[in-house]
Amino acid sequence: MILKQDAESPAEATSKGPPKPRLTAGQQSVLDVLQHQSQPLSAQALHGLMRRQQPIGLATIYRALDALKLLGLVQHRVTLTGETLYSAVEHDHHYLTCLQCGVSVPVDTCPVKELEAQLQGASSFRIYYHTLEFFGVCDQCEV
Amino acid sequence: MILKQDAESPAEATSKGPPKPRLTAGQQSVLDVLQHQSQPLSAQALHGLMRRQQPIGLATIYRALDALKLLGLVQHRVTLTGETLYSAVEHDHHYLTCLQCGVSVPVDTCPVKELEAQLQGASSFRIYYHTLEFFGVCDQCEV
DNA sequence: TCAGGAATGATAATCATTATCATATTGCAA
DNA sequence: TTGCAATATGATAATGATTATCATTCCTGA
Ligand SMILES: [Zn+2]
Ligand SMILES: [Zn+2]
Ligand SMILES: [Zn+2]
Ligand SMILES: [Zn+2]
């Protein structure tokens, strides 16, 4: 039993951009978890978290994440191990990752927002989010 | 039969940073192809390209790409379909990608180089490259 | 209330990447 | 130069995250 709560639902009041369709139960549920999460989560991690409170199938989570990306509500990034991590678009977090041991440290700056605004105007795209990640080798792994 | 050609081999002369080990035949071969390629390639695409001239196993290509990343000679990015694309580090290309149809358009600016230099100094990492990609919906796919 | 369409869930299928392991090559010491 | 240990290679099996499938359930609007 999943309750719809559109308290934080997409801008329908301040109709900025095309009207967003109502979210399905699964989408609402997934979005809610991501919005209250400080760290990005994989689909399977979401499944593990959600299944106790609100039983939901893994396939539904994948579908919800896809839909939420398309609505500009969720963003993704891919780890070195190949799993995709999702977070609410509001969270703009970037990392510096070691190619050897995989350790990631957060980068608190983001020099991309301005360029994103420029591109938004110059291109025919509606831009929702960006990924920015640095790769190298940490001193632990240095030869 | 793969010939070693270290014309463009890693900085050994201007010993900047730790001395890089010699490349194996497979690594040299893969690096050479990537350096003469203007577009990023997947491991399997590389295999398709290389197997005619220089027969080489797919596993070897994956291993070479891993090693070359660790040496700071090759960079990677992951497409929406989950395949990893590789290119020589010299090429700093970024894209704006549609989440719906997958079309990618190049972005010619990069506001990250400066931040990368800062991080290089501030962190204990040796930073080799970065990924930067914008995601949204193209006008074709717009509702 | 009922039919058509969309959403869901369990599970099978996909497919890029990794692990395995036997063989080939390389670098180096004797 | 020869012999050997360490490393690299290739074919292939195994892995694992994601996607496709399909039967069932839920919604919605006539
Ligand atoms: Zn490390
Ligand atoms: Zn950012
Ligand atoms: Zn599109
Ligand atoms: Zn760049």
Predicted confidence (pLDDT) per residue in B81-108, tens digit: 999 999 999 999 999 999 999 999 999 9
Give the predicted TM-score (pTM) of the model. 0.89
Burial of A122 (0-12, 13-18, 19+ CB in 10 A): exposed
Contact at CB, A127 and B139, closer than 8 angstroms: no
Whether B96 and B74 map to the same domain: the answer is: no
Structure confidence at residue B142 (pLDDT): 86
- The length of chain A in residues reads 143
Distance from CA of A128 to the nearest CA of B (A): 5
Bridge partner list, A76: A86
Whether B134 and B83 map to the same domain: the answer is: no
Cβ(B75)–Cβ(B69) below 8 Å: yes
Whether B75 and B119 map to the same domain: the answer is: no
CB-CB neighbors (< 8 A) of B20 in chain A: none
Whether B69 and B103 map to the same domain: the answer is: no
Structure confidence at residue B18 (pLDDT): 52
A84 touches strand D (CB under 7 A): yes
> Does residue A110 register a pLDDT over 70?
yes
Whether A72 and A2 map to the same domain: the answer is: yes
Whether A87 and A102 map to the same domain: the answer is: no
Whether A25 and A75 map to the same domain: the answer is: yes
Reported as a pLDDT band with limits 50, 70 and 90, residue B22 is: confident
**Which CATH number belongs to the domain containing residue A11 in this structure?**
1.10.10.10
Whether A81 and A105 map to the same domain: the answer is: no
**Amino acid identity at B58:** L
Strand order in the sheet with B41-42: B41-42, B84-88, B74-78
Could you tell me the CA-to-CA distances from A15 to A20, A75, B71 in Å, in that order?
9, 22, 50
Whether B76 and B14 map to the same domain: the answer is: yes
For β-strands B74-78 and B126-137, DSSP reports them as unpaired
Q: Beta-strand (E) ranges in chain B?
A: 41-42, 74-78, 84-88, 94-98, 104-107, 126-137
A79, A80, A105, A131: best to mutate for the B interface, most B CBs within 10 A: A131
As a rounded value in angstroms, the CA-to-C1' distance for A81 and D15 is 12
Residue at which a domain ends, from B91, B118, B134:
B91
Cβ(A129)–Cβ(B135) below 8 Å: yes
**Which CATH number belongs to the domain containing residue B133 in this structure?**
3.30.1490.190
Reported as a pLDDT band with limits 50, 70 and 90, residue A22 is: confident
Structure confidence at residue A9 (pLDDT): 36
For range A12-28, the mean pLDDT: 67
As a rounded value in angstroms, the CA-to-C1' distance for B57 and D7 is 16
Q: Give the largest CA-CA distance in chain A.
A: 57
Cα A47–chain centre separation:
15
Cβ(A63)–Cβ(A101) below 8 Å: no
Whether B46 and B101 map to the same domain: the answer is: no
Whether B52 and B1 map to the same domain: the answer is: yes
Whether A33 and A67 map to the same domain: the answer is: yes
| Chain A interface residues (partner B, CB cutoff 8 A) | 18, 69-70, 72, 75-76, 78, 82, 96, 98-100, 105, 107, 109, 111-112, 114-116, 118-119, 123-139, 142-143
Number of domains in chain B: 2
Those residues whose C-beta lies under 8 Å from the C-beta of residue A38, and which sit 6 or more positions away, are A91
Structure confidence at residue B143 (pLDDT): 66
What is the residue range of B109's domain?
A: 92-143
